[in-house]
Structure 1
Amino acid sequence: MSVKYADNLMGTIMPLSKQSYDAYCRRDTVQVLHSETYSGQNWTEKLLTHQNIRLVEVLQGITNAHFHLIDPVASVYIADQQNSRFSSPLKSWVEENGTIQIPHEQVYQEETALIIGGMKNHWHFLINFLPRLIMARKIMGSSFEDLDCVVIHEATPMQQDFLERLFPDVVFRQIPAGSTAAYGFKSMFYLDFPKNTLLCPEILSLTRAVVLEAYEPRPTDLAAGIFVDRNPDIPRRRLAGRANKLAIFEEHGITPIFCEDYNFSQQIALFHGADFVAGLHGAGMSNILFCRVGTPVLIIDYKWPSEMYALAQALDLRPLPILAEKVYNKTVEMRLRDLEITPKQLDAALTALKALTD
Structure 2
Amino acid sequence: MNSFLRKIRKILFLNYFLRNIYFFIYGFKTVERKITWMDEYKQIEFLKENEICRISTPKIKGKNRSFYKNVPHVYMYSLKNVVGVLNSSSFYSEDVAFIERFRWIEQDVADYSDGHLIIHDGVSAIFKCEKRDIFVENRNALFLGGNGSYNYFHWMIEILPKLLILKKSIIDNLNIECIVVNGIVKEIDNFRIPLEILRDKLNIQIVFYNQGGFVEFKNLFYITTFNHVLFNVKGQVEENQCYFSKEVLFELSGIFTSYASSSNVVSKKFPEKFFIRRGVGISNYNKRNYNEDEVVSIMNDFNIECIYIEDYSFLEQVQLFSNAKLIVAPSGAFFTNLIFCKKNTLIISWLTPKTANFSVYSTISHLFDLDMNFILAEQSQNEGIHGEYYLNPNEFRNFLSQALVKIENNITEVY
* Structure 2 length-normalised TM: 0.67
Matches within 5 A, 1:115-126: 115-118=143-146, 119-126=149-156
Q: Deviations along 1:297-322, whole A, 9 cap, x unmatched?
A: 22233331232212211222222222
Tell me, in whole angstroms, the C-alpha distance in 2 between the residues paired with 1:236 and 1:127. Answer: 22
8 A contact 1:115–1:190 mirrored in 2 = yes
Shift of 1:233: 11
Give the counterpart of 2:357 among 292, 305, 309: 305
Give ranges in structure 2 of 5+ residues lacking alignment.
1-30, 58-64, 104-109, 230-241
Residue 132 of structure 1 corresponds to 162
Residue 157 of structure 1 corresponds to 188
Matches within 5 A, 1:73-152: 75-81=95-101, 85-87=111-113, 90-91=116-117, 104-105=131-132, 106-118=134-146, 119-135=149-165, 137=166, 140-144=167-171, 147-152=176-181
Shift of 1:121: 1.6
Give the counterpart of 1:223 among 228, 253, 271: 271
Matches within 5 A, 1:189-338: 189-194=221-226, 195-196=228-229, 197-216=242-261, 219-231=267-279, 236-238=288-290, 239=292, 241-250=294-303, 254-302=304-352, 303-306=355-358, 307-326=360-379, 335-338=386-389
Coordinate RMSD, CA, aligned: 3.6
Give the letter for the 1:344 counterpart. N
8 A contact 1:17–1:100 mirrored in 2 = no
Cα–Cα, structure 1 residues 353 and 36, in superposed 2: closer, same or farther, change >3 Å? Answer: same
Shift of 1:355: 3.7
Shift of 1:93: 10
8 A contact 2:115–2:212 mirrored in 1 = no
8 A contact 1:225–1:274 mirrored in 2 = yes
Q: Deviations along 1:182-223, whole A, 9 cap, x unmatched?
A: 4213x3221111321212322211211122233336633211
Shift of 1:271: 0.9
Give the letter for the 2:170 counterpart. S
Q: SS of 2:254's equivalent? A: helix
Tell me, in whole angstroms, the C-alpha distance in 1 between the residues paired with 2:50 and 2:370. Answer: 24
Give the counterpart of 2:35 among 13, 18, 25: 18
Tell me, in whole angstroms, the C-alpha distance in 2 between the residues paired with 1:286 and 1:34. Answer: 24
Tell me, in whole angstroms, the C-alpha distance in 2 between the residues paired with 1:89 and 1:296. Answer: 37
Cα–Cα, structure 1 residues 232 and 34, in superposed 2: closer, same or farther, change >3 Å? Answer: closer
Tell me, in whole angstroms, the C-alpha distance in 1 between the residues paired with 2:289 and 2:334. Answer: 12
Give the letter for the 2:161 counterpart. P
Total equivalences in the alignment? 327
Shift of 1:224: 1.6
Tell me, in whole angstroms, the C-alpha distance in 1 between the residues paired with 2:135 and 2:69. Answer: 38
Cα–Cα, structure 1 residues 247 and 15, in superposed 2: closer, same or farther, change >3 Å? Answer: closer
Give the letter for the 1:53 counterpart. V
Residue 347 of structure 1 corresponds to 401
8 A contact 2:159–2:225 mirrored in 1 = no
8 A contact 1:68–1:82 mirrored in 2 = no
8 A contact 1:69–1:77 mirrored in 2 = yes
Tell me, in whole angstroms, the C-alpha distance in 1 between the residues paired with 2:50 and 2:66. Answer: 19
Give the letter for the 1:157 counterpart. I
Q: SS of 1:220's equivalent? A: helix
Give the letter for the 1:297 counterpart. I
Q: Deviations along 1:30-83, whole A, 9 cap, x unmatched?
A: 53443521222456895311122112234555533444454759x432113479
Q: SS of 1:241's equivalent? A: helix
8 A contact 2:46–2:76 mirrored in 1 = yes
User: Alignment identity in percent?
Assistant: 18
Cα–Cα, structure 1 residues 222 and 58, in superposed 2: closer, same or farther, change >3 Å? Answer: same
Q: SS of 1:336's equivalent? A: coil
Cα–Cα, structure 1 residues 171 and 338, in superposed 2: closer, same or farther, change >3 Å? Answer: farther
Cα–Cα, structure 1 residues 183 and 258, in superposed 2: closer, same or farther, change >3 Å? Answer: same
Q: Deviations along 1:111-159, whole A, 9 cap, x unmatched?
A: 1211121422222222222223333x2xx34334763221222323212
* Structure 1 length-normalised TM: 0.76
8 A contact 1:298–1:350 mirrored in 2 = no
Q: Deviations along 1:209-249, whole A, 9 cap, x unmatched?
A: 12223333663321122222224998644435134321244
Tell me, in whole angstroms, the C-alpha distance in 2 between the residues paired with 1:202 and 1:233. Answer: 32
1:54 aligns with 2:75: yes
8 A contact 1:41–1:200 mirrored in 2 = no
Give ranges in structure 1 of 5+ residues lacking alignment.
1-13
